[in-house]
Amino acid sequence: MVRSALAILAFIGLATAGTVLLSAQSPGPSLSEQQRSLLSAREQSERARQRSNALLRQAEAANNDADRIASQAAALAARIQAAEADIKAARTRIAIVNQLQQRQRARLAEKQGPMIRLTAALQMMTRKPTALALVEPRSLDELIYMRSILSAVMPEIERRTASLRDEVRQGERLRQQAARAIASLDQSQHRLVEQRQQLAGLEASERIDAAQFSTDAGIEQEQALALGEEARDILDLMDQIRESGAVRESLAELDGPVLRPGQGKEPPVRTSRRSEDVASAYRLPVVGEIVTGLGEISDSGYRSRGLTIAVDAGAQIVAPAAGRVAYSGRYRGYGNILIIEHDAGWTSLITNMAKTSVAVGDEVVQGAPVGQSGSDDPTVTVELRRHGRPIDIAALIG
């Protein structure tokens, strides 16, 4: 039994001594912060899946192909955001397991110290053969004395070696958890690639469908770009778009010309997709962590008029509420921007997009895919205004 305990202690000491030296704590988020991040990512993933299921039900109940394709695209975008949240959760799980492994190694090193010293002493004692003690005058007395000491300390040695074995088993469980987290990350990344390919096909179908109803889309896009060139800054641009939107709504309320009999058929009318109340249905356009809130001073020194969200490179951006695209394209130092007009004077501005996938005049449902974030500066800023006045999105969505 003594030799078995010694062998275990020697093996553990040699196997982990080098690892302990290399397990210095690295700076980064604390374990509690990572656990909160993991919980947030899982909640975002579950909400995105619920939205996807609801949008799929809308697609099944759609009355025409255009609305069906739009709902399907929004459902796919929600699945993409769920996959992005799953990837974030898997990466956070890996980071948590790494921290737990570092703590476990530190505990193991703390317990190993005295046990390794005791092992060395016991090994030196056992080097003298028992037969040699019989021919030496005082060796037999010493042997009996040391055996009595060993019988007294043996229970404590067994207790400590059992504790060390528990730590080793805990390390193995942590390694298994890390392997599962890596496998989950691989599956989520594979799922993300497939869903982005499916979304690209649906978006192409929707663009073809929209072109059949938007013969003057090019003219409207040029008018929006002209507004951007005339505007002094982005606030001026939003004011001009709001004014032009009010004029367009006033004109839409007027009775149109009546065609003479036999002169032709009226063009098909697409049903409006704007049915939600923005104040109660608004949500963030991207999965990520809010790093700057309304009114806070940003890194560049100006007071934020919306929310800045830290995201992964290439994150899927969706419409935060149903509406009409009023501006889509590059604008000065804001990268690609998107302005969506909602009902009742609400307007959304999304900036720092790598690319947009909608055009001026497009009607979008809530959750419709509208673009992606970039890789150089993976942040997205969203502002919400009501009749030109900034609204605190964080308070609105809780």
* DSSP structure string for 36-53: HHHHHHHHHHHHHHHHHH
Q: How confident is the model at residue 183 (pLDDT cuts 50, 70, 90)?
A: confident
pLDDT at 272: 47
Q: How confident is the model at residue 317 (pLDDT cuts 50, 70, 90)?
A: very high
Beta bridge partners of 383: 349
Read off the tokens for 127.
């080097």
Question: Residue 20 pLDDT more than 50?
Answer: no
For the stretch 63-72, contacts whose Cβ atoms lie closer than 8 Å and that sit 24 or more positions apart, written own/partner, are 63/271, 64/270, 64/271, 65/209, 66/206, 66/209, 66/210, 66/213, 66/270, 67/271, 67/273, 69/202, 69/205, 69/206, 69/209, 70/206, 70/273, 70/364, 70/365, 70/368, 71/365, 72/202
Q: How confident is the model at residue 18 (pLDDT cuts 50, 70, 90)?
A: very low
Read off the tokens for 204.
């192409």
Q: How far is CA 199 from CA 78, 141, 184, 377, in A?
A: 11, 85, 22, 24
Cα 180 from Cα 97, distance rounded (Å): 11
Q: Which residue has the higher pLDDT, 157 or 73?
A: 73
Torsion of CA 68, 73, 78, 79, to 10 degrees: 100
Q: How confident is the model at residue 299 (pLDDT cuts 50, 70, 90)?
A: low
* Sequence letter at residue 318: V
Mean pLDDT of 78-87: 91
pLDDT at 174: 81
User: Which CATH number applies to 2-211: 1.20.1260, 3.30.70, 3.30.1540, 1.20.1440?
Assistant: 1.20.1260
Question: Residue 383 pLDDT more than 50?
Answer: yes
Among 107-111, 283-287, 334-338, the minimum mean pLDDT is found in 107-111
Q: Where are the domains of the chain?
A: 2-211, 217-253+279-397
Q: What is the CA radius of gyration of the chain?
A: 33
Q: How confident is the model at residue 126 (pLDDT cuts 50, 70, 90)?
A: low
Question: Residue 220 pLDDT more than 90?
Answer: no
Domain 217-253+279-397: give its CATH superfamily: Glucose Permease (Domain IIA) (2.70.70.10)
Q: Which residues contact 109 (CB under 8 A, 6 or more apart)?
A: 16, 20
pLDDT at 271: 45
Among 16-20, 27-31, 213-217, the minimum mean pLDDT is found in 16-20
pLDDT digits (tens, 9 = 90+) for 87-125: 988 888 888 888 888 887 787 777 666 666 666 666 665
For the chain, the distance separating the N- and C-terminal CA atoms, rounded to the nearest angstrom, is 63
Question: Residue 55 pLDDT more than 60?
Answer: yes
Whole-prediction pTM: 0.69
pLDDT digits (tens, 9 = 90+) for 232-273: 677 877 787 777 765 555 545 555 555 445 444 444 444 444
Among 122-126, 146-150, 304-308, the minimum mean pLDDT is found in 122-126
Q: How confident is the model at residue 4 (pLDDT cuts 50, 70, 90)?
A: very low
pLDDT digits (tens, 9 = 90+) for 201-219: 877 766 655 555 555 556 6
pLDDT at 216: 53
The H or E element spanning position 218 is helix 217-230
CB burial of residue 115 (10 Å; 0-12, 13-18, 19+): buried
* Sequence letter at residue 245: G
